[in-house]
Chains A and B, each alone.
Chain A
Amino acid sequence: MARIELKNIVKKYGDGFPAVNDVSIDIADGELLILVGPSGCGKSTLLRMIVGLEDITSGDLLIDGERVNDLAPRERDLAMVFQNYALYPHLTVGENIAFPLRLAHGKVSEEEVRSRVQRAADMLELNEHLDRKPANLSGGQRQRVAMGRAIVRDAKAFLFDEPLSNLDAKLRGQMRTEIARMQRSLATTTVYVTHDQTEAMTLGDRVAVLRKGVLQQVASPRELYEQPVNLFVAGFIGSPPMNFLPARVAGDRLQLPFCEVPAPAVIGAERRQGELLVVGVRPEHFDDVEVTEAPAGAVTFSAPVDVTEWLGNELYAYIPFEAAAETKEQLAELDRELDGESMRSQLVVTLDAMTSVRDGDTAQLWFDPDRMHVFDPSTGENLTRDEERAVAIGELSEKLRLRSLERAARSSGGRKEPMGART
């Protein structure tokens, strides 16, 4: 039960390298905030500063309005699930979960400890494993023990550092839903670190995207998807990632590799004649003319398909194109940063599984230019971002969050703290 405020947080390690640079985020009570970004962008560092394992070089960290920069981890009363779980190997599962309670000398009676461990074990389905040692558990079970240790006491907030990164895809999906459900029912403020953008999009109320220690955007998943502030966020969110195409401004039109589109008014085409911009279109915003009729205003073009991948419910088609040397360099750089392996410049389109497009065909495709984004390649800034729309999306998702919290509170019988805190 806490609000966590980060104000201009900076972390410089011994070598002067700023691992986290001027990050400010306000995390509301009961909110689930996701920290996401490529490897090495400072996610763990930020989390460790919040929990108190890492000194804050400058800036303020406030929990419930109180500055906690100089408090020891113990005094901050936050629970954390470590990237490697950090279970105590010499203790049984039950004792691992009970550990935080046992430390609170005498404050929690033996009986209370037992009942709370029992409740956590019920919740995480660890009942038959309580007497086993962590060494004998599977990855998923260890992960649940680590969660149990976090939820067993009434910490002010939960901090998760990539808790699912070691699980296989199926288990990851299950645990993800489980974590979302648990967070809702406990209504505890949570900061969740991941580099998996699916986790980020599905779990969080809001997502903070970090890049090289700098905060790019904090917004609801929907806003990140629809109104990214820059090339980096646009490329990071979504799978397969957004296509970036070189676009030359000519008159009031943009010349793309396979077609021309009207230049959106907001980019100020008349000031940018001849300039090279970057247009971003998501793969799922393309469609096959044969499957779906192109609506009015759509841009239709034909393109040679190199390779297709049929996934059952949809089909990916890869369409190579020649990019101008100047954008190619920059896009390759961006791709590297996003942990991608750009081998060639190609367009990826997600088509309906009904499509008859196959390898080597020339496909007739369309997309709606209203859904495309135009970026300034030198700054990466999204020129077509619609602030009003972004604010509207933000308000909507906040409303949805509060509603689901309310629903959770109702369904847990009005109990505010399901783990049975102060009895």
Chain B
Amino acid sequence: MGAMSRKEKGLWYLGALFIVLYALLPVAWIVSLSFKAESDLANRSFLPTNATGENYSGIFSGDGAELFLPALRNSVIVCLVATVIAVVLAMFAAYAIARLDFPGKRLVLTSALAVAVFPVITMVTPLFNLWRQIGLYDTIPGLVIPYLALTLPISIWTMSAFFRGIPWDMEQAAQVDGATSWQAFRKVIVPLAAPGVFTTAIIAFFIAWNDFVFGISLTSTSRAQPVPAALSSFTGSSYFVQPTGAISAAAVIVTIPVVLLALVFQRRIVAGLTNGAVKG
């Protein structure tokens, strides 16, 4: 791109600022809502007049707790299990795609893509009927399986792209340096592949964590209902009050793990770790 002029730079900053504001404004709004008292909700001002934690105590110990806490537990379990399974399976698939030449390699990739772009809503009704028949409706595995359909294709794609970029020469270099195949894998390939695996895992987790359609359709009780679905069945303190505050608080709570994950693994996600392995 070459060196940017001052003016160009300024424009870039301005553009970036606009996008950041655009993306963060709703988040800030929800945070602000979550601290507003019930009477404050419709006061047409951005900041709460009197910040209160009652929404939070409501969902953790008050009326909302019996709905929210099991949902949080379900979400964590379902998403973690789906992520682990998806990443492990995708790792094998991506390794094969990156390293081996086998007939049907393209087929695997294209069908993964096809599944990824398949409209989720078309799967819901058949799954609903099938799950009711075989007893998977409103169970944890009943959610994990459709979540795999969401996470696996994208995991295979990102990981095989990443694996292709690994300088596999390294493995041979290690063998010449006196490593067994296992040592070469563990000491050289695993550290090189780890960032790709982490990145994929985080993407998969986010996808599962954010799902609403499967959550709302394939569960009905706190046995398996994940947070996004549970939020929709929140009720206010009385029939006439919207549960906006409680929903906002819950939304903030479920955002926290996502932000934490992104922050903790930020360094891991940073690509470019393999730079400088070979000359050039």
Which residues of A come within 8 Å of B, CB atoms?
Answer: 51-53, 72-74, 77-80, 82, 84-90, 99-100, 103-104, 133-137, 139, 142-143, 149, 153, 166
Contacts and interface: CB of A to CB of B under 8 A. Distances in A.
Interface string B163-184: 0000101101111111110010
Given A74-B180, A82-B169, A166-B280, A89 B175 contact: no
Of the listed residues B192, B272, B278, the one surrounded by the most CB atoms of chain A closer than 10 A to its CB is B278
A203 B276 CA distance: 28
B276 A133 contact: yes
B199 to A, nearest CB: 16
Contacts of A86: 167, 169-170, 172-173, 277-278
A87 B276 contact: yes
B170 A84 contact: no
Contacts of B279: 84-85, 139, 142-143, 166
A137 B277 CA distance: 10
Given A53-B172, A82-B169, A99-B174, A88 B180 contact: no
28 contacts: A52-B175, A53-B172, A53-B175, A74-B175, A74-B176, A78-B176, A84-B167, A84-B279, A85-B278, A85-B279, A86-B167, A86-B170, A86-B278, A88-B170, A88-B173, A88-B174, A89-B167, A99-B177, A99-B187, A100-B178, A103-B178, A103-B183, A103-B187, A134-B277, A135-B272, A139-B279, A142-B276, A149-B177
Contacts of A139: 279
Of the listed residues B178, B179, B180, the one surrounded by the most CB atoms of chain A closer than 10 A to its CB is B178
A89 B192 contact: yes
Nearest to B272: A135
A36 to B, nearest CB: 20
B149 interface: no
Contact of A51 (B176, B179, B192, B278): B176
Contacts of A77: 178
Contacts of A51: 176
B57 interface: no
Nearest to A137: B276
A89 B277 contact: yes
A309 B174 CA distance: 48
B274 A89 contact: yes
Contacts of A89: 167, 192, 273-277
A153 B274 CA distance: 25
B167 A135 contact: no
Contacts of A87: 276-278
A322 to B, nearest CB: 45
A149 B176 CA distance: 11
A24 to B, nearest CB: 24
B257 interface: no
Contacts of B192: 89-90
Contacts of A72: 175
Contacts of A142: 276, 279
A88 B176 contact: no
Contacts of A99: 174, 177, 187
A164 to B, nearest CB: 11
A131 to B, nearest CB: 15
Of the listed residues B176, B180, B277, B279, the one surrounded by the most CB atoms of chain A closer than 10 A to its CB is B176
Contacts of B183: 103
A53 B176 contact: yes
B141 interface: no
A153 B276 CA distance: 24
B169 A136 contact: no
B172 A153 contact: no
A85 B175 CA distance: 14
B278 A73 contact: no
A103 B191 contact: no
A369 to B, nearest CB: 47
Contacts of B169: 82, 84, 86
Interface string B227-260: 0000000000000000000000000000000000
